[in-house]
């Protein structure tokens, strides 16, 4: 891991890492972000791996401006008014995924909505511009640790798990962005942050607070708990070592039982990062008419396997009953 000053040359080098699917920690005005190419499932899997998160929660995709955001989400009047007032800045908007949106499914944890933000930090902007693509970035710390507001914090927490850290000095805002959900009938504040509720209400009128709005410790422990999660409509059977003729098989590893109606292999080589990158696309592909049930082979409970199994267990527990937005 190297810590570099932001210069024209280091921004080019950092952007090259990103377009190669590698990770770069970079400063934003809120906290340091652990960035990866938001359009690359493998790069997003690498973010979860580096953070050691036992769960997949949706990440914020960072773009330069509203014009770029429109390529990835279904824009709205409220989005336009809020972006004109607060972007670039500490406001994240959750909007419906645009048709053909290039944002990786893993970046949205399989949801049909995308959290998007245009940061104001000049280093973040230079990196997004040079990479020429949206950057998915949660806070640049190991899971459970507090968000880093200095490059040294990132180095202490992530160490060699991140190849490059761009040192842009201390973050000015120092708290996370406000997350506002505009994908429903009425706007809902999902996470309080750098832009106040009052400032937002001055632009679009009254907004609701999420019923489940976490406060204090609960919020820090589980920042992803608010997002409804993706689950297939079909029943899910875990730890499958055989497959029935009415089943779609989500396989893992080289030894795959025969007999399923349709099989997708998360990773024939048994690689957990590859499996994470394929997880949501393959679950969706198996969740279709004609398939009675989705059978899932056992996934090792190590590294990214923890987050993969967490998601599969939820899918098995509430098949079809969860909010599938």
21, 54, 163, 224: which one binds ligand AMP (CB under 6 A): 224
Which phi and psi (to 5°) does residue 119 adopt?
-75, 155
Of 237, 217, 220, give the one whose Cα is nearest residue 292.
Answer: 237
Q: Which is nearer to Mg ion, 139 or 263 (CB)?
A: 139
Residue 130 neighbours by CB distance under 10 Å: 17
14, 25, 45, 60: which one binds ligand AMP (CB under 6 A): 60
Q: Which is nearer to ligand AMP, 63 or 94 (CB)?
A: 94
Of 42, 97, 87, 79, give the one whose Cα is nearest residue 62.
Answer: 87
Which tokens hold the place of 12?
A: 């080019």
User: Please, are residues 158 and 34 in contact by the beta-carbon 8 Å criterion?
Assistant: yes
User: Which H or E run includes 136?
Assistant: strand 135-136
**DSSP β-bridge partners for residue 60:** 115
Determine the size of the site formed for ligand AMP (CB under 6 A).
21
CA distance 96 to 75: 8
Residue that is written with structure tokens 């949660």 in the block: 138
34, 46, 63, 190: which one binds ligand AMP (CB under 6 A): 190
Q: Which residues bind Mg ion (CB under 5 A)?
A: 139, 147
Q: Which is nearer to ligand AMP, 16 or 97 (CB)?
A: 97
CA distance 259 to 301: 26
Give the torsion sign (CA, 193, 197, 203, 204).
Answer: positive
Region binding ligand AMP by CB under 6 A among candidate stretches 54-62, 71-79, 258-266, 280-288 = 54-62
Find which of Mg ion, ligand AMP, none residue 94 binds, CB within 5 to 8 Å per kind: ligand AMP
Smallest gap from Cβ 230 to ligand AMP, in A, equals 10
Residues numbered 112 to 131 that lie near ligand AMP (CB under 6 A) are: 113-115
Q: Which is nearer to ligand AMP, 189 or 295 (CB)?
A: 189
Q: Which is nearer to ligand AMP, 116 or 251 (CB)?
A: 116
Polymer length of the chain: 325
69, 73, 79, 94: which one binds ligand AMP (CB under 6 A): 94
Smallest gap from Cβ 159 to Mg ion, in A, equals 17
Smallest gap from Cβ 118 to Mg ion, in A, equals 19
38 binds ligand AMP (CB under 6 A): no
111 binds ligand AMP (CB under 6 A): yes
110 binds ligand AMP (CB under 6 A): no
**DSSP β-bridge partners for residue 263:** 249
CA distance 150 to 34: 13
Q: Which is nearer to ligand AMP, 220 or 288 (CB)?
A: 220
Residue that is written with structure tokens 């419906």 in the block: 96
Nearest residue to Mg ion on Cβ basis:
139
Smallest gap from Cβ 220 to Mg ion, in A, equals 8
Smallest gap from Cβ 84 to Mg ion, in A, equals 28
Q: Which is nearer to ligand AMP, 175 or 199 (CB)?
A: 175
Q: Which is nearer to Mg ion, 147 or 157 (CB)?
A: 147
CA distance 233 to 283: 10
In three state form, how does the secondary structure of 156-202 look?
A: HHHHHHCCEEECCCCCCCCCCCEEEECCCCCCEEEECCCCCHHHHHH
Q: Which residues contribute to the site for ligand AMP (CB under 6 A)?
A: 57-60, 94, 108, 111, 113-115, 138-139, 176, 179, 181, 190-191, 223-224, 226-227
């Amino acid at each position: 891991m190297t810590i570099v000053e932001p210069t024209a040359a280091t921004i080019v080098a950092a952007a090259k890492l990103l377009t190669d699917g590698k990770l770069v920690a970079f400063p934003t005005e809120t906290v340091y972000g652990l960035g990866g190419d938001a359009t690359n499932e493998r790069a997003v899997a690498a973010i979860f791996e580096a953070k050691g998160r036992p769960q997949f929660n949706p990440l914020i995709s960072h773009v330069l401006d509203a014009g770029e955001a429109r390529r990835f989400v279904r824009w709205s009047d409220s989005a336009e008014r809020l972006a004109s007032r607060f972007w670039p800045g500490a406001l994240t908007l959750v909007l419906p995924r645009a048709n053909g949106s290039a944002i990786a499914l893993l970046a949205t944890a399989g949801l049909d909505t995308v959290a998007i933000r245009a940061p104001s930090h000049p280093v973040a902007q230079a990196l997004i511009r040079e990479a020429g693509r949206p950057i998915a970035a949660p806070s640049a710390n190991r899971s459970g640790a507090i968000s880093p507001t200095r490059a040294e914090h990132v180095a202490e927490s992530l160490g060699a798990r991140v190849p490059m850290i761009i040192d842009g000095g201390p973050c000015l805002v120092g708290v996370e962005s406000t997350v506002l959900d505009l994908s429903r009938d009425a706007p809902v504040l999902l996470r309080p942050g750098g832009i106040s509720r009052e400032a937002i209400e001055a632009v679009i009128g009254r907004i609701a607070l999420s019923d489940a709005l976490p406060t204090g410790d609960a919020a820090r422990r589980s920042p992803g708990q608010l997002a409804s999660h993706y689950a297939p409509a079909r029943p899910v059977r875990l730890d499958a070592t055989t497959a029935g003729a009415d089943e779609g098989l989500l396989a893992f590893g080289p030894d795959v039982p025969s007999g399923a109606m349709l099989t997708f292999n998360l990773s024939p080589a048994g690689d957990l990062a590859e499996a994470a990158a394929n997880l949501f696309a393959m679950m969706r592909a198996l969740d279709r008419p004609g398939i009675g049930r989705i059978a899932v082979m056992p996934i090792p409970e190590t590294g990214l396997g923890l987050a993969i199994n967490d998601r599969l267990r939820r899918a098995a527990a509430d098949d079809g009953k969860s909010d599938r937005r």
